[in-house]
Homo-oligomer: A and B are copies of this chain.
Amino acid sequence: FIIFVSVTEASRCSITGIPLVRNISELPQDSYGRPGLSHITVAGAALHGMKEIEVWLQTFAPGSHTPIHRHSCEEVFVVLKGSGTAYLASDSVHRYPGKPQELHIFSNSTFRIPVNDAHQIWNTNEHEDLQLLVVISRPPAKIFIYEDWFMPHTAARLKYPYYWDEECLLEESIKDEL
């Protein structure tokens, strides 16, 4: 049984044995504890050995959203399905993000997040899932999370490294210890 489990884990996490061309609809998806989210790592640091970019496919059920957060890596979104709202606080003059701009995002639109600007993506369309292709630079992301738009920048909670597929890294560490 132990052998069987480790073989399964290897095919989930290890970069050896993952075919070069993969069917996205057969890739593992998970909510990672966020209600309404389906996240698929299309190309990732932990899973596929990416060093400079990660690509994710994320689907948000109506009403679901990301946390309010900021990061110094670049981020580009392509909306594949549905519509929603991107909230963006571009004013960095204050001690806190402040009331954000509301940007309508829609199928076949693209937008990028200016580096270090606090932002939040929200599926505000109650009738349809919002599906996004997300690209970030320099994995793993170093993310600062805000409780609300008026929390001081200095109080935002750091999550680093931000790996979706953390279990794969943990496994690597365990292997290193053996």
Contacts and interface: CB of A to CB of B under 8 A. Distances in A.
A78 B24 contact: yes
A55 B132 CA distance: 14
A136 B103 CA distance: 26
Interface stretch (A28-36, A42-50, A122-130): A42-50
A24 B107 CA distance: 9
B112 A50 contact: yes
Given A21-B111, A48-B112, 14 more contacts: A20-B88, A20-B103, A21-B86, A23-B106, A24-B109, A42-B76, A43-B76, A43-B110, A52-B53, A53-B53, A53-B135, A53-B136, A55-B135, A78-B133
B50 A110 contact: no
Interface string A86-117: 10100000000000000111101111100000
B108 A42 contact: no
A52 B113 CA distance: 13
Contacts of A53: 52-53, 74, 76, 135-137
A101 B20 CA distance: 11
A48 to B, nearest CB: 7
A23 to B, nearest CB: 6
Contact of A21 (B52, B109, B133, B138): B109
Contact of A74 (B51, B73, B108): B51
A89 to B, nearest CB: 13
